[in-house]
């Protein structure tokens, strides 16, 4: 049975805490001006004058990818409207200067998502080398 998005978010939040990574903003709706798009997890990067620096990292948990109703229609993130909404969010976030990582339940369970997050936080200066190896 597919895990619900909230369960996957909780699993990723626990991995973030266990890894000792900075606590992200959760369910933030202010990362794109004049839009009410919600970021599941968001970290803001320190700004370096004159650098082509992203604003930060947005992580979107793709829950319910394979869920269907009894009639075979997609629901959750598998519903066509949700797919369109997620594509729009990803494009607008990237155009506004954010790194955008959509991650699946399988990527969370395998530990891939937390490694990608830690690498980005390290690369953009939110954590130092003392973070240790997560892989």
User: What domains lie within the chain, and their CATH numbers?
Assistant: 5-47+54-130 (3.40.960)
**Block mean pLDDT (10 aa), the chain, length 135:** 78 97 93 86 83 86 64 56 88 92 96 97 84 50
What Cα–Cα distance (Å) separates residue 16 from each residue in 81, 88, 93? Answer: 30, 26, 22
For residue 119, the tally of other CB atoms under 10 A from its CB is 14
Please answer whether residues 70 and 112 qualify as being in contact, where contact means their C-beta atoms are separated by less than 8 angstroms. no
Please answer whether residues 100 and 62 qualify as being in contact, where contact means their C-beta atoms are separated by less than 8 angstroms. no
**Over the stretch 99-129, which tens digit does the pLDDT of each residue have?**
999 999 999 999 999 999 999 999 988 888 6
Closest among 124, 102, 105 to 39, alpha carbons compared: 102
Quick one: pLDDT at residue 14? 98
Q: How far apart are the first and last CA of the chain?
A: 27
Beta partners for residue 57, in sequence order: 43, 99
CA distance 30 to 72: 35
């Amino acid at each position: 049975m597919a895990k619900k998005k909230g369960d996957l978010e909780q699993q990723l939040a626990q991995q973030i805490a266990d890894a000792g990574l900075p606590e992200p903003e959760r369910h933030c709706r202010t990362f794109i001006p004049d839009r009410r798009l919600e970021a599941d997890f968001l970290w803001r990067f320190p700004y370096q004058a004159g650098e082509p620096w992203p604003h930060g990292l947005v992580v979107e948990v793709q829950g319910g990818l394979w869920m269907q109703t009894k009639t075979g229609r997609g629901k959750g993130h598998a519903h066509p409207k949700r797919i369109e909404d997620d594509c729009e969010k990803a494009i607008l976030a990237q155009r506004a200067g954010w790194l955008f990582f959509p991650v699946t339940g399988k990527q969370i369970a395998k530990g891939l998502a937390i490694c990608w997050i830690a690498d980005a936080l390290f690369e953009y200066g939110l954590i130092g080398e003392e973070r240790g190896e997560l892989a």
